[in-house]
Amino acid sequence: MSILSKRLFGLVAADYRKSYGQNICMSDCDGRVAMPEVSNPIENLPALCHLRWHNLNESLRWGEPQVFFVAPGIMSWMVPMVDKTELKGGLCGGYILLEDDPQSIIASVNYFVGEGAKRKDAQAFVRGLEPFEQGRVREAADHLHELFYQYSGWQPLELKRNRDQMMQQRQIAEEIHQRKVEQNRAYPYDDERILLSLIRVGDRAGARKIFNKMLAAMFLYSPKQVVVRARAIEMMGYLVRAAVEDSPLMEPLMERHMNWIEQIVETRDFDDLCNVLMEALDDFMNSIFLQGVSPVSPAVGKALDYIAANFTESVSLEEISNAAGLSTFRIAHLLKEATGKTALQNIHYLRIQEARRLLETSDMSCTDIAYETGFGDQSYFIKQFRKWMGITPAKYRKSFRS
């Protein structure tokens, strides 16, 4: 059974060729060309199949298209085809010549011959390539990625998760390097209070930045896994204690805190610990964002907890009222009175906060973000984002990155 239909493959290939003049091919998970059915003999060389396989797995690990050298002076890129959490194959974005230099062309031909190609096939392949600006390579790779998921409608959940994790690791690595340069190995206790303040005002990006800074400090203070885990448990304990002191109705955090501790204790290494802590932080922020430090009734607290845990799904007022143990009319009234927002507005608020995070930290399209955050329909998502933020998602992302 084919990974993609010929029609879908043709639509992506035609649109991409129109923008970048390159012909794509589709490979299976082992790097073998699966489409088009008749391909260039060079593309079926074992060395190229291995390169596609390797970079397909690298692109999955990093959560983004992978650019790589095929031969001297020749580059290509792979886009992973992921449906939710399953890798189906990859799209190779073509082969480009970095410079039209006779010596470079000879070297490329010799490389392919050395890998088992016939010289005439190698010459025809290399001479058929067009010079391409290296600065456009990443742009072309990202465009192919966006095109494929736009046409296919697939949801690359595994890519998103891996990309978030890798971005976090990069930030932590940069912070570790900076602290080493400054010869600063002290644990930043003041940052715990700053982190809690940022969480209270809803600054997710700022909270993550401080959080990663603290993780780097934990590692430098003592790289031993058991010590880092103990520090992590201590930090999460401080956040939960401070939240409960501010509002006794935040008590449900205590139960979730125990689950976080169990996951922290079971982590295998520092990277695994960072991933668990980031999930815990997101869970913590969702609860704080909704309830803040305002005194509300226990029923409202239960309702808000339910919303925080399910805001990306289709949540009904009946489900919220069941969680709170009250009638739909009564819980709707109490929610409005306590938070100033209706149940639906509270749900939309969390969805918009999550959408902001995805716009800031990922390259997901608006269609993907609409699905991921629970809006489902792209036009409805854009309308709600503009309503809450006063700007379209695309402009928000551009403004944030600039």
Classify residue 301: in a domain, yes or no: no
Q: 166 and 148 in one domain?
A: no
Question: Do 170 and 136 share a structural domain?
Answer: no
Residue 305: HSE in the Cβ half-sphere, 13 Å Cα cutoff:
19
Is residue 326 in a domain? no
Query: Quick one: CA torsion of 206, 212, 216, 217, rounded to 10 degrees?
Result: 50
What does the pLDDT profile of the chain (402 residues) look like in tens digits?
467 889 999 999 999 999 999 999 999 999 999 998 766 889 989 989 999 999 999 899 888 899 999 888 899 999 999 998 899 999 999 999 887 677 778 888 998 999 899 999 999 999 899 888 878 898 999 999 999 999 998 988 888 888 877 776 766 766 666 766 666 656 666 677 777 777 766 667 778 888 888 888 888 777 788 888 888 888 888 888 877 776 666 677 788 888 888 999 998 888 888 888 888 888 887 777 665 544 456 778 788 888 888 898 888 999 999 988 888 888 888 888 777 788 998 899 889 988 988 888 888 888 889 998 999 888 899 999 988 888 899 888 888 776
Same domain? For 90 and 194 the reply is no
The CATH number of residue 114's host domain is: 3.30.450
Q: What is the pLDDT of residue 293?
A: 40
313 within domain boundaries: no
Note whether 51 and 133 are same-domain residues: yes
Q: Are residues 66 and 16 in the same domain?
A: yes
| Residue at a domain's end among 154, 169, 196 | 154
The Cα–Cα gap between 70 and 51 comes to 7
pLDDT of residue 235: 84
Query: Given this model, what pLDDT does residue 272 score?
Result: 86
Are 284 and 162 members of one domain? yes
In the listed set 269, 295, 321, which residue is the last one of a domain according to the structure?
A: 295
**∠ CA 296-299-305 to the nearest 5 degrees?**
85
Rounded distance between C-alpha atoms, residue 365 and residue 225, angstroms: 37
Q: Is residue 119 part of a domain?
A: yes
Residue 37 lies in a domain: yes
pTM as predicted: 0.53
Closest by CA to 65, choosing from 9, 126, 140, is 140
**Residue 334 within any structural domain of the chain:** no
Question: Are 62 and 102 part of one and the same domain?
Answer: yes
Of the residues 129, 154, 179, which one is the last residue of a structural domain?
Answer: 154
Asked if residue 90 and residue 54 are part of one domain, the reply reads yes
Asked if the structure places residue 367 within a domain, the reply is no
Instruction: Please check whether residues 21 and 161 belong to one and the same domain.
Output: no
- 212 and 233: one domain? yes
Domain co-membership, 35 together with 100: yes
Rounded Cα gap, residues 61 and 153, in angstroms: 21
Q: How many domains does the chain have?
A: 2
Instruction: Answer yes or no: do 53 and 138 share one domain.
Output: yes
Q: Range of 147's domain? A: 6-154
Q: Is residue 193 part of a domain?
A: yes
